[in-house]
Amino acid sequence: MRIPVHRWASRSLLASAALALALGAGPMAPGQPPRAAVPVDEESVRSVAAQLRCVVCQSLSVADSPSETARQMREVVRERLASGQTPDEVLAYFVEKYGTWILLAPPRRGFTLLVWAAPLAALLVGLGVVALSIRRWSGARGRSRPAEPAPPIDAATRARIRREAG
């Protein structure tokens, strides 16, 4: 049986696509140059994952969380770093997907600047209150009122003092 040309061409195209995928040339976004695979060490994955909040635990970072979701997020971080993305690009991906909530340390701009400024302001106010309290306390103890002159002693009291001291 003879295969028509168009079937042969489609099989060839399919074989070429399979070969390209096997060699690691996955689908690319339009207008984006292909990125070569970059070797990724665990420390770089951990440093990026430590900046992300676990969506399950919420009080732990993705690097420290034992949940399955955190493990999957670490894999995404590893894959994106291996594809050549910078740590900032990986963080931007998660922020785009989850919002700034996903970052353990919110960016220092806009409304979130309050998160950074409020503890510092509270510390300064607290130190001021402590300093003022110490100043008042030490000032009240250190300063004594000027001594009032003693009332004059009459002759009978003087005679009694001499007799008793006597």
Q: Do 112 and 52 share a domain, yes or no?
A: no
Domain-located, residue 158: no
pLDDT of residue 37: 63
Question: What average pLDDT does the segment 79-90 reach?
Answer: 93
We report the CATH number of the domain holding residue 57 as 1.10.8.640
User: Please, which pLDDT band fits residue 58 given cuts at 50, 70 and 90?
Assistant: confident
Q: Do 129 and 89 share a domain, yes or no?
A: no
Q: What separation in angstroms does the CA of 53 have from each of 20, 41, 87, 97, 106?
A: 36, 21, 15, 13, 11
Domain that holds residue 112: 106-136
Q: How confident is the model over 132-159, as pLDDT tens digits?
A: 998 888 876 656 666 788 888 899 999 9
Report which of residues 31 and 40 the model is more confident about.
40
Domain-located, residue 80: yes
Number of domains in the chain: 2
Query: For residue 151, which phi and psi values (nearest 5 degrees)?
Result: -65, 150
Domain-located, residue 49: yes
Q: How confident is the model over 16-30, as pLDDT tens digits?
A: 444 444 444 444 444
